[in-house]
Structure 1
Amino acid sequence: MQQAIFFLFAIVAGVMLPVQAGLNTEIGRSVKDPVYASLISFVIGTIGLVLYLLLARADWGEIRNTASLPWYYWTGGLMGAVYVAAIVVLTPRLGVALTFGLTVAAQMVFGVIMDHYGWLGVPKSPINWMRVLGVLLIIAGVVIVRVNQTIVVAIPE
């Protein structure tokens, strides 16, 4: 049951990303800058997280535990900002499906590598033919979306 809840949470989060891309893209058009759009997105997200932590009566003292982490763990937020800015730049140029297809394919390839080596403390899960097949199917899906997109764009209206 608990695993089903985690799967559902992952699906809901996955559905939110293309919606977020559309919303942030419109903010980017409005402010005429993808970095400003990303900043607005992160400010609103930060406000939402602070409100959640206040309502959940979180133990703010736990934040001190992060002081002992190596410096590179702090780059996660920067990577998130680059990702959101990239989505704002890419979505109007590539479309939502291709943008997310490419990013998901890259995530899967690197995720399988990270799992194999157990980098950054993730549980080790060796690369095997089923995982490789899964990644190849995702890449094939991206190729099909791209080919289909090209065909659709090439048809005169």
Structure 2
Amino acid sequence: MQQALLFLFAVVAGVMLPIQAGLNSEIGKSLKSPVYATLVSFVVGTFGLLCYLLLARTQWSELKNGFQLPWYYWSGGLLGAVYVAAIIVLTPRLGVALTFGLTVAAQMVFGVIMDHYGWLGVPVSPINWPRVIGVALIIAGVVIVRFN
């Protein structure tokens, strides 16, 4: 049951991304800047998270644990900003399906590599033929979407 809820959460999050891309692209057009649109997205997201943390009465003292991590762990927010800005630039030019097809294919390729080596503390899962075939099918899907 717990795994089914996790899968459902992943699906819901996946559905939200193309919607976010469309919304953020319109903000980017209106503001005439993907960087401003990214800033707006992150400010609104930060406000939403702060509201959640206040309503959930979370323990703010847990934040201190993050300061014990190496500096490069903090770059995740910057990577997220680059990703959102890229989606804002790419979506109006390539369309939602191709933009996300390309980014998902890249995520899968790099994800399989990260899993193989266990980089950044992820569980090790060696590259094998089923994983290679799965990634190849995703890339094939991107090619079909592109040339359809």
Classify the TM-score, shorter chain.
over 0.9
Q: CA deviation at 1:64?
A: 0.3
Q: Deviations over 1:2-25 (max 9, x none)?
A: 000000000000000000000000
Q: TM-score, normalised by structure 1?
A: 0.94
* Off by >6 Å, runs of 4+ in structure 1: none
Query: Match of 1:36, as an amino acid?
Result: Y
- Quote the Cα distance in structure 2 between the aligned partners of 1:33 and 1:74: 25
Q: How many residues align?
A: 148
What is the SS of the residue equivalent to 1:123?
coil
1:58 CA displacement:
0.5
Provide the rounded CA distance (Å) in 1 between the counterparts of 2:103 and 2:6: 21
Counting aligned pairs with the same residue, the percent is 80
Give the equivalent residue in structure 1 for 2:36.
36
Secondary structure of the residue aligned to 2:127 is: coil
Matching residue of 2:101? 101
Q: For residues 17-96 of structure 1, what are the structure 2 equivalents within 5 Å?
A: 17-96=17-96
1:63-93 CA-to-partner distances (Å, cap 9, x unmatched) read: 0001110010000000000000000000000
Amino acid at match of 2:9: F
What CA distance in whole angstroms lies between the structure 2 residues aligned with 1:90 and 1:98? Answer: 9
Counterpart-to-counterpart distance in 1, 2:4 and 2:128: 24
Cα distance, 1:47 vs structure 2: 0.3
User: What is the root-mean-square deviation of aligned Cα atoms in Å?
Assistant: 0.4
Query: Which amino acid is 1:49 matched to?
Result: L
* One-letter amino acid of the structure 1 residue matched with residue 76 of structure 2: G
Aligned amino acid, residue 126 of structure 1? P
SS at match of 2:123: coil
Tell me by how many angstroms 1:138 deviates: 0.2
Within-5 A mapping of 1:132-151? 132-148=132-148
Supply the distance in 1 between the matched residues of 2:140 and 2:66 (Cα, whole angstroms).
40
SS at match of 2:3: helix
Residue 135 of structure 1: how far off its partner (Å): 0.2
Amino acid at match of 2:82: V
Structure 1 gap ranges (5+): 149-157
Task: Using the TM superposition, give the Cα deviation of residue 100 of structure 1 relative to its aligned residue in structure 2, in angstroms.
Answer: 0.2
The alpha-carbon deviation at position 126 of structure 1 amounts to 0.7
Q: Which amino acid in structure 1 is aligned with residue 21 of structure 2?
A: A
1:35 Cα deviation after fit:
0.4
